[in-house]
A and B are shown apart, each in its own frame.
Chain A
Amino acid sequence: MPTIILLDVSLSMTRPVNIPDTNEEYQRRHLAIQGINTLLDHITTHSKLEFISLMIFSSQWEQVVNFTRDVDSIKSALTKLDDYDKTNVCNGLQGVLQVVTEEWGTNAPCQIVLITDGSTGTGSDSLKHHIQYRDTKFPLPFPFPSKLHICCVGSQEEPSVSASLPLYNRLIDLNGGKGGVFVPEGSLNITSIQQLFSQLAEKYFSPFNAVLNCGNLKCKVQLFPAPEDYKMQSLKKSVSNDLQILGFVDIQDVASPAGLSRHLVLPNPPTKEDESQPNGEKENKDIKEDEEETDEFKTPSFTVLLHGALKVHSMIALTQIGEDWYGMLYSFADNRKKSNLMLTIYEPGKYCLPWLGNMDMLAPATDFPEPPYGEDDNKSPFPVRPKEKRSYANNCVVWLKASGVQADIQKMLRHARKLPEKQQHFYKELNRLRRAALSYGFTALLKSVALMLERECTCLPGSSHPDAALQLTHAANALKSEQFRDITQNIVPLRTNFSEDS
């Protein structure tokens, strides 16, 4: 998930720090930069694909380095910063809001690391004032999922810092409560700042490691970006570290599935522990023998096999990622044709893809007496159709507008004028009309339609079939009769041809 480093470059950051036993003079911003470098180093080691942006703020804000994976560009930019005027935290966060929504929209979860020194400004530009009178420009909560971390380059003993901490906590609460306030332990020096940033990195920038299981085939993987917990009303779920493949589905059948989030599935190198295990995978042993373990590219990885097979066969692997929580593994290719294994996480629940039906009811194809995919793969058991058709697929009668009534009457009349050929259709439409009128308690319509049919009868041309007049009169009389006020009764055509009986 993208990370924004939001650094306070106000004048107060240039205050010197007293560090005993050194001759060099350190300012708070120097410590801050040290700390940021610690964080950047951690990110480089653990999640190379992280996008990071460097922003600075004082009473104004500026994006110094746009989102990049090139950590060095951020490091070098940090050495070239100027000093500006006073602190305005809200303005800085406003900048974050603009930059993030422009770049990533409102779906990508972001982490914001705000580095400041405990001074929160005074008067109408102070943080306290902003929190108290949250006007329309107040940036929190961010419209995108986010964690806000506030790192304070100042000792807890400083009065300004202790006064600011409640305000910082309030900011995090206002943003939904995710993230934390970090203050150096003990006195303010390089070590304590580095520890502070290491803590932050350990807690919030650790990679998500999991084991991908396909029966007895297992592979240690890292998911990038780390999947977020799911929270919706009372439901709270976390992605399990055990990803279990349940079976496979053709891409055509899974159709266009909606995903909460998507994650690269990157194989992790086997650790020393795995290799010392007696039943460790065979390839590890071979490599030990041949003393080739240095070349990790030559260690076979199940993810590569799975990716290749999914790609070749146009399938996805349905994967359980938690209790009643599912996802799919598939081969994803970006526009440069570089493909990789991807995990899409679905909305939690057994009916996350309604067209696959209940997840619990998916069985292996070999379990069916009739092959569900046909003898030579020429059919599919998907999509699962709901028992009830939706109104738009069910020819339902809605007469809220006059045009609805008119259309249904016109349909019936059209058939009435082609009697006796369209006799079957005529009665079908007639009964549909009648049933709807009875359901809606719209009996006035029945009388009027009867009148209409009688009039049609009088307008019949002389050349018309004698049956036409008979059927129209029969239908008109039936509509008026009490017997056909019963919805279960259908008006049936008048029998005019007795030749078969005689």
Chain B
Amino acid sequence: MAGDCNKTVLVLDRSPIFASSSKQTVEFDIFTKAKAGMIPLAPIVKSLWTCSVEAAIEFCRIIYDLFPTEKLVRMVVSDRSAAVLNNWTPGQQNINLLLNCLGAIPPPSIEDPADDCTVIHGLASAVQALCDASADQEGEPNNGTIVCLTSAKSEAQIRILETYVQDAITRHNKTNDSLLPIDHCHLVIIHTVPVGDVSPIQERTVREVSPVLSSEVLVSQSGRYMAVKLIQLAVKFFDLCLTTVTGIPMKEEQNASSSANYDVELLHRKAAHQDFFKSGHADGVLIPSKEDLCLESVSLKWCNPKSNFVELHQCTGAYRITPVDVNSRPSMCLTNFLLSGRAVMLEQPRKSGTKLISHMLTSHGGEIYIHTMATNRSILEETPSISEGLGGRITDYRITDFGELMKDCRLAPRLSQLNEGEPLPIDRAKGQIERLTRVWPIVISDTIIFNMLSHLDPLPSLISKETLDEDDVLECKKAIYHVVGMESRHEPLPVPASGGTRGKGTKRDSQYRQMWSELETLIRSYVDTSDNHKQVLDCLLECKKPDLERPGSGASGTLKIAEKPAIKEEKLDEAEQALKSLEKYQRLTEREKSDLNIKTETDSPMSPPPVKKFKTNEGSINKTAGSQSILSIWTNRLNAVNAMRHAEFTGRLEGTNNKYELYQHLKEDLDNTVDTKPNIKTLTGQNKPQIKPLLGTHVKPPVSMHNRIK
């Protein structure tokens, strides 16, 4: 009954008898007493009706404050007919709406004819209200409580009410229309009498009328007692308890320099004192309520107010609170203090000197919560440091970069309604993390491209976007061309100290190879996102075009280039730049080794020196190949071809001091006849026409692009 009671209907009897006095007087004119010669106005009395309404509103106030979404209350006013003031929807679950509705209903009058007025109409509406499903009730048992504030003439009349509710439920459960059948209903009939009067009705404890209905009868005096009765009911039904915050220092209005200590009583879920009720060892903590609620309260001492305080580790529970006396000065002082963003620690009074902070009061988003704090020894004490665990000794994690990713994946609440068919925001968040982590090396030494973001920007951040516009594609391409330019200028890559140092002479080139491979992996992982993403990949792959488009001629082309420096080797070994390019060209031919070897061995018997050179290089390839996957060999190979494509303009490469002697071949031919074997001569002679288009079409674009970036 208590814990799963989510739907409550309050039925207020508005028959003429409620117009009579509650016999509790209200002194309201206390401020003029001090003035001499002034006779204070006579105290006034509230009607039974006013006391019922006040109590009902107080009940709603507590429930709405403590359980804004999970517990629902509806109010029904019953006279000659029933007026249902609100429904189960969240927008109608607030006291302002109820007060406005009540304001439109005039108080009962003694002159009204009493005959047709009965609370039965209200009970009928209440049963019907329970048959309405609330928003998130799906699948839950349809249980509810009806609290009826009435004034019965006799025990018999109360039995009539019970029978009526039983019949109404049976009737509703039988009719198989759209209404939800009631699984269980608890009926509380509160008989109210003016203060000081003797009730003809006796209280009666819970009785099971039938499997679907239980009922109890309570008797309450009107006036403030009525509200106390309903608060007690709320405490019982919704598993609440009281906390008295003691020793709150408050400035006196008259005497601002001194401060007196006040106590404030708060209501909240009992779970906040679960620990205390379970162990129950602390004496003197439980004190009677000072608000005459006839309930016990857990007293906790105010200590240590803090600003902007966050307790990440110790909180074991957080429960909404509401003050018992909401607009008393001490209550308002406390709630305003907490709403302003401060937190207050609460301490358990103990006989021994030790201080035990067990709770904290603070507000979040305009709601005040009592937090429970762990007070016992933690099983997580003296835990090892993360640096003592797996991977704890590594120091080059990309923490700053991950911080950026975290900022990009920071969550924010979507406040507007979702459109039809729109994905859940949280799924968008999951999708974003997935996208951003497709290629994400976690340590610096595992990556080249993420160490040279200044060169690649904005490509890495753009490519992970869901959509790329034309400008983005252009930016990405620019970044690729920029790196192409870097390579052609032989700029060293910002390689992490511990990574990628295998070959010695080929260090930089293998780094470039690795870099291109990484970059391709990065871009390729997003290729399915959109056509524009594919364009970026195409741009990257374009570098391999010569090789991919005409593999046969590509091989002969490289062979051709390879020949040339091989020839020059003897001649231009003093120029360092030339040497570098030479090395490079040699390696390029390695990549083509298989094609090349087959070709050279079958097509034309190669001269011994070049073949030897190839063989030694082959050895080094195999060495690296052993530690590489086929994929990486392949990508390296492509990259190498790629790199070839960005070779410097021959004139600039081979010239000294930016000067290049034209028509060298005439001279070369002359030298060759002296130094090298005749078949080389014929080879160069044969292939010469092919070099020109190669240089003309493929070497030029990077240079021009490079210029454009500059």
> Do A383 and B364 touch (CB < 8 A)?
yes
Q: Does B550 contact A (CB under 8 A)?
A: no
Provide the residues of chain A in CB contact with B691, threshold 8 Å: none
Task: Say yes or no: A299-B391 contact (C-beta < 8 A), given A264-B380, A439-B53, A452-B29.
Answer: yes
> Do B365 and A384 touch (CB < 8 A)?
yes
Scan residues 262-301 of chain A and give those whose CB is less than 8 A from a CB of chain B: 262, 264, 266-269, 282-283, 286, 289, 296-301
> Do B441 and A282 touch (CB < 8 A)?
yes
In whole Å, how far is B450's beta carbon from the nearest beta carbon of chain A?
13
Provide the residues of chain B in CB contact with A245, threshold 8 Å: 433
Provide the residues of chain A in CB contact with B410, threshold 8 Å: 247-250, 315, 364-365, 373
Q: B386 — nearest CB in chain A belongs to which residue?
A: A340
Most chain A C-beta atoms within 10 Å of own C-beta, residue among B99, B102, B383, B412? B412
> Do A108 and B382 touch (CB < 8 A)?
no
Q: A50 — nearest CB in chain B belongs to which residue?
A: B379
Scan residues 440-460 of chain A and give those whose CB is less than 8 A from a CB of chain B: 440-445, 448, 451-452, 455, 459
Q: A51 — nearest CB in chain B belongs to which residue?
A: B379
Q: Mark B406-418, 1 if CB is under 8 A from A, else 0.
A: 1111111111000
Scan residues 392-445 of chain B and give those whose CB is less than 8 A from a CB of chain A: 392-394, 397-400, 402-403, 406-415, 424-426, 428-430, 432-438, 440-443
Cross-chain contact of A392 among B65, B435, B440 (Cβ < 8 A)? B65
Scan residues 362-399 of chain A and give those whose CB is less than 8 A from a CB of chain B: 362-368, 372-373, 381-394, 396-399
Provide the residues of chain B in CB contact with A103, threshold 8 Å: 376-377
What is the bound-complex CA distance between A59 and B217, given in angstroms? 51
Cross-chain contact of A401 among B94, B224, B318 (Cβ < 8 A)? B224
> Do B406 and A315 touch (CB < 8 A)?
yes
> Do A367 and B437 touch (CB < 8 A)?
no
Provide the residues of chain A in CB contact with B103, threshold 8 Å: 435, 438-439, 487
Please name 26 pairs of A and B residues whose Cβ atoms are closer than 8 Å in the assembled complex, sorted by A.
A51-B379, A69-B382, A105-B374, A215-B440, A250-B410, A256-B309, A266-B389, A282-B441, A283-B443, A297-B393, A304-B394, A309-B403, A334-B383, A342-B380, A365-B412, A384-B365, A386-B365, A387-B90, A389-B366, A398-B61, A403-B328, A407-B327, A436-B99, A440-B53, A441-B108, A442-B47
What is the bound-complex CA distance between A438 and B100, given in angstroms? 9
Q: B91 — nearest CB in chain A belongs to which residue?
A: A387
> Do B411 and A384 touch (CB < 8 A)?
no
Provide the residues of chain B in CB contact with A28, threshold 8 Å: none
Provide the residues of chain B in CB contact with A494, threshold 8 Å: none
Task: Say yes or no: A300-B394 contact (C-beta < 8 A), given A104-B376, A107-B275, A217-B442.
Answer: yes
Cross-chain contact of B322 among A313, A390, A441 (Cβ < 8 A)? A390
> Do A256 and B318 touch (CB < 8 A)?
yes
What is the bound-complex CA distance between A356 and B387, given in angstroms? 32
> Do B446 and A286 touch (CB < 8 A)?
yes
Query: Chain A interface (Cβ within 8 Å of chain B)?
Result: 1-2, 49, 51, 69, 101, 103-108, 143-144, 214-217, 225, 233, 244-252, 254-260, 262, 264, 266-269, 282-283, 286, 289, 296-310, 312-313, 315-318, 330, 332, 334, 336, 338-342, 344, 351, 354-368, 372-373, 381-394, 396-407, 409-410, 413, 435-436, 438-445, 448, 451-452, 455, 459, 485, 487-488
What is the bound-complex CA distance between A387 and B89, given in angstroms? 13
Q: Does B160 contact A (CB under 8 A)?
A: no
What is the bound-complex CA distance between A233 and B392, given in angstroms? 42
Cross-chain contact of B364 among A286, A338, A354, A435 (Cβ < 8 A)? A354
Task: Say yes or no: A361-B393 contact (C-beta < 8 A), given A396-B95, A402-B28.
Answer: no
> Do B53 and A364 touch (CB < 8 A)?
no
Q: Does B144 contact A (CB under 8 A)?
A: no
What is the bound-complex CA distance between A156 and B94, given in angstroms? 65
In whole Å, how far is B700's beta carbon from the nearest beta carbon of chain A?
37
What is the bound-complex CA distance between A247 and B430, given in angstroms? 7
Task: Say yes or no: A304-B391 contact (C-beta < 8 A), given A286-B446, A359-B426, A364-B428.
Answer: yes
Task: Say yes or no: A342-B313 contact (C-beta < 8 A), given A301-B391, A400-B54, A406-B28.
Answer: yes
Provide the residues of chain A in CB contact with B436, threshold 8 Å: 215
> Do B414 and A1 touch (CB < 8 A)?
no
Task: Say yes or no: A297-B412 contact (C-beta < 8 A), given A216-B437, A282-B441, A364-B429.
Answer: no
What is the bound-complex CA distance between A305 and B405, given in angstroms? 12
Task: Say yes or no: A400-B394 contact (C-beta < 8 A), given A258-B371, A259-B315.
Answer: no
> Do B327 and A382 touch (CB < 8 A)?
no
In whole Å, how far is B61's beta carbon from the nearest beta carbon of chain A?
5
Q: A295 — nearest CB in chain B belongs to which residue?
A: B393
Provide the residues of chain A in CB contact with B95, threshold 8 Å: 391, 396
> Do A385 and B413 touch (CB < 8 A)?
no
Q: B21 — nearest CB in chain A belongs to which residue?
A: A444
Give chain B's interface secondary structure class.
mixed
> Do B428 and A363 touch (CB < 8 A)?
yes
What is the bound-complex CA distance between A334 and B379, given in angstroms? 12
Scan residues 350-369 of chain B and give those whose CB is less than 8 A from a CB of chain A: 360, 362, 364-368
Q: B436 — nearest CB in chain A belongs to which residue?
A: A215
> Do A441 and B94 touch (CB < 8 A)?
no
The 4 A-B pairs of least Cβ separation, nearest first, read A301-B391, A105-B376, A487-B103, A441-B107
Provide the residues of chain A in CB contact with B41, threshold 8 Å: 448, 451-452, 455
What is the bound-complex CA distance between A245 and B402, given in angstroms? 14
What is the bound-complex CA distance between A356 and B433, given in angstroms? 19
Q: Does B150 contact A (CB under 8 A)?
A: no
What is the bound-complex CA distance between A406 and B31, given in angstroms? 9
Provide the residues of chain A in CB contact with B365, threshold 8 Å: 354-355, 382-386
> Do B446 and A282 touch (CB < 8 A)?
yes
Q: Mark B498-519, 1 if CB is under 8 A from A, else 0.
A: 0000000000000000000000
What is the bound-complex CA distance between A250 and B316, given in angstroms? 20
Q: A263 — nearest CB in chain B belongs to which residue?
A: B380
Q: A297 — nearest CB in chain B belongs to which residue?
A: B393
Provide the residues of chain A in CB contact with B434, threshold 8 Å: 215-216
Provide the residues of chain A in CB contact with B385, threshold 8 Å: 338-340
Cross-chain contact of B386 among A214, A339, A354 (Cβ < 8 A)? A339
Q: Does B390 contact A (CB under 8 A)?
A: yes
Most chain B C-beta atoms within 10 Å of own C-beta, residue among A363, A387, A400? A400
Provide the residues of chain A in CB contact with B309, threshold 8 Å: 256
Provide the residues of chain A in CB contact with B3, threshold 8 Å: 233
> Do B406 and A256 touch (CB < 8 A)?
no
What is the bound-complex CA distance between A233 and B4, given in angstroms? 9
Q: Mark B46-66, 1 if CB is under 8 A from A, else 0.
A: 110110011101100100110
Provide the residues of chain A in CB contact with B446, threshold 8 Å: 282-283, 286, 300
> Do A409 and B28 touch (CB < 8 A)?
yes
Provide the residues of chain A in CB contact with B279, threshold 8 Å: 101, 105-106, 143
Provide the residues of chain B in CB contact with A389, threshold 8 Å: 366
Provide the residues of chain B in CB contact with A268, threshold 8 Å: 390
In the complex, identify which listed stretch (B113-121, B331-339, B675-683) lies at the interface while the others stay far away. B331-339
Q: Does B110 contact A (CB under 8 A)?
A: no
What is the bound-complex CA distance between A344 and B55, given in angstroms? 41
> Do A255 and B364 touch (CB < 8 A)?
yes
> Do A391 and B65 touch (CB < 8 A)?
yes
Q: Mark B306-333, 1 if CB is under 8 A from A, else 0.
A: 0011111101111010110111110110
What is the bound-complex CA distance between A15 and B234, given in angstroms? 60
Q: A109 — nearest CB in chain B belongs to which residue?
A: B379
Q: B317 — nearest CB in chain A belongs to which residue?
A: A258
> Do B403 and A313 touch (CB < 8 A)?
yes
> Do A363 and B433 touch (CB < 8 A)?
no
What is the bound-complex CA distance between A286 and B442, given in angstroms? 14
Task: Say yes or no: A256-B371 contact (C-beta < 8 A), given A216-B440, A300-B442.
Answer: yes
What is the bound-complex CA distance between A130 and B130, given in angstroms? 46
Provide the residues of chain A in CB contact with B376, threshold 8 Å: 103-105, 107-108
Q: Beyond A246-B433, A256-B343, A384-B365: 4 further Cβ-contacts under 8 Å? A: A108-B378, A233-B4, A340-B389, A487-B104
> Do A334 and B381 touch (CB < 8 A)?
yes
Provide the residues of chain B in CB contact with A106, threshold 8 Å: 274-275, 278-279
> Do A313 and B412 touch (CB < 8 A)?
no
In whole Å, how far is B463's beta carbon from the nearest beta carbon of chain A?
15
Q: B46 — nearest CB in chain A belongs to which residue?
A: A442
